[in-house]
Amino acid sequence: MTDVQISAHLARVPGWALVDGAIEKTFRFDDYHRTMAFVNALAWIAHREDHHPDLRVSYDRCTVRFNTHSVGGISINDFICAARVDALLTD
């Protein structure tokens, strides 16, 4: 994807940012139980999509990082998965 395409797609997934060749977002939670529930739900989505992010998990937060190794950068799949991860937390 070009920088212009990436910027356009980032505008559609609030809170996600371009960081060192990937898109990433940190999600914050009240406690470890909620953090792990999020991680488990995210793992189900990643398995279903066959598109697996890098995760950094702490007590009250999880940083999710998507890029597509097969294209050596960012693809539309990264943004699709980012939107699906965001949907886990909408009412």
| CATH code for the structural domain at 3-87 | 3.30.1360.20
Q: Are 7 and 73 in contact (CB under 8 A)?
A: no
Q: Walk along the chain (91 residues) and give the pLDDT tens digit of each residue.
A: 999 999 999 999 999 999 999 999 999 999 999 999 999 999 999 999 999 999 999 999 999 999 988 888 899 999 999 999 999 998 5
- pTM (2 d.p.): 0.93
Write down the domain spans for the chain.
3-87
Q: Decide the pairing of beta strands 22-28 and 17-19.
A: antiparallel
Single-letter code of the amino acid located at 18: L
Chain centroid to CA 3: 18
